[in-house]
Amino acid sequence: MSEKALVLIVDDSPTNLQVLASCVKNCHRIKVATSGEQCLQIAQASPQPDLILLDVEMPGMNGYEVCEQLKASSLTASIPVIFVTALQGDEDERRGLELGAVDYITKPIRPAIVIARVNTHITLKLQRDKLNKMAFYDQLTGLYNRHYLIDVATKKVARSLRHHYDLWVLMIDIDHFKQINDNYGHPMGDDILKKVAEVLVLDNRTEDLAARFGGEEFVVMFDPSDDSDAVIKAQRILKKISKLKPHNISVTVSIGMAKVVAEDGNFEGVLKRADQALYRAKDNGRNRLEI
Ligand code: GH3
Ligand code: MG
Ligand code: MG
Ligand code: MG
Ligand code: MG
């Protein structure tokens, strides 16, 4: 059996809605929509459905148009769609599958088959979600991982160079973290990594990026209104972390910061300069920032 999920059932006929709902509702939570337009609205809102059962023939937008729009938006593209329709022709089915639907069920429906197919696709969807989460996020801190950072940061740097707006990179490294591990144990070290990560997340605006670069090193990227705004943000992070005192342990970080310039060429270039600045911050006494 698949896990309990949220299924959106879309059909203009109340009778069809009822029949489909009675199939699915024992296994899953359901939402219903009576038009294509309503389906798009519900699909975008949180919590998003894990699967959509979609009628084809409806007044207003038909199911094919709805499916096309769902697949065109990054917000809804990963929601599996199963057409449930009276259209029996090969051509109709081919069209539905080509538009990105995972399955095509014809009416009159056979409840046991509907449930089996729904469960199969929900299992696959939830597995895919889990894999995506593992691919993008650091398990310990919940921040983006290095792999995702490099992917997104590369694009961010290219965009900032093309459109000539400022983009800053902070390389943040916990001071004497090895001693913290040695003195208080690795599990305590892990907890401190989480607490430091929380500060970075809370300080961020939604468009900023915070990632765990590795071990006890973090990268933050953001586009401030001006250079002093960038320094203020870095100082604020320094101060917030030094005031944390998790478990009454004194924890500080050093920050190296760099603004993307054309000579950097790419993310690797600007990251190298942020890393050099970090070395200076360490050399100059730690718990400080250098540009
Ligand atoms: P510095 O101020 O020069 O940065 O000193 P440091 O001790 O922080 O630097 P160093 O690079 O020598 O040590 C980093 C330590 O971070 C060593 C490693 O055991 C620890 N570390 C890396 N990843 C983790 C982790 O996931 N959990 C814990 N608890 N420790 C980690
Ligand atoms: Mg219909
Ligand atoms: Mg380090
Ligand atoms: Mg080190
Ligand atoms: Mg360190």
DSSP 166-227: --EEEEEEETTHHHHHHHH-HHHHHHHHHHHHHHHHHH--TT-EEEEEETTEEEEEE--SSH
Is the beta carbon of 178 within 6 A of some atom in ligand 1?
yes
Distance (Å, rounded) from C-alpha 272 to C-alpha 31?
A: 50
Written as six digits, the tokens of 274 are 């942020």
Question: Given pLDDT bands bounded at 50, 70 and 90, which one contains residue 49?
Answer: very high
Written as six digits, the tokens of 27 are 């296994």
**Residue whose CA lies nearest to ligand 1 atom number 26:** 215
Ligand nearest the Cα atom of residue 286 = 1
Distance 224 CA to ligand 1 centre (A): 30
Q: What is the pLDDT of residue 207?
A: 86
How many residues make up the chain in this entry?
291
Residues 6+ apart with CB under 8 A from 173: 216, 217, 218, 253, 254, 255, 278, 282
Please check the confidence at residue 134 and state whether its pLDDT lies above 60.
yes
Q: What is the pLDDT of residue 204?
A: 86
Q: What is the pLDDT of residue 2?
A: 54
Average pLDDT over residues 206-231: 95
Question: Given pLDDT bands bounded at 50, 70 and 90, which one contains residue 206?
Answer: confident
Distance 161 CA to ligand 3 centre (A): 29
Mean pLDDT over the full length of the chain: 96
Distance (Å, rounded) from C-alpha 238 to C-alpha 208?
A: 17
Ligand nearest the Cα atom of residue 214 = 1
Residue to probe by mutation, ligand 1, list 173, 176, 178, most atoms within 8 Å of CB: 178
Q: What percentage of the chain carries pLDDT values higher than 90?
A: 96
Is the beta carbon of 175 within 6 A of some atom in ligand 1?
yes
C-alpha distances out from residue 202 to 109, 170, 195, Å: 49, 16, 11
ipTM confidence score: 0.95
Distance 237 CA to ligand 4 centre (A): 19
Is the beta carbon of 216 within 6 A of some atom in ligand 1?
yes
If phi > 0 it is left, if psi is from -120 to 50 it is alpha, else beta; for residue 185 that is left
Per-residue model confidence as pLDDT tens digits over 7-40: 999 999 999 999 999 999 999 999 999 999 999 9
Distance 276 CA to ligand 3 centre (A): 13
Active site residues: 216
Distance (Å, rounded) from C-alpha 220 to C-alpha 257?
A: 9
Per-residue model confidence as pLDDT tens digits over 63-99: 999 999 999 999 999 999 999 999 999 999 999 999 9
Is the beta carbon of 146 within 6 A of some atom in ligand 1?
no
Is the beta carbon of 177 within 6 A of some atom in ligand 1?
yes
* Higher per-residue pLDDT: 85 or 204: 85
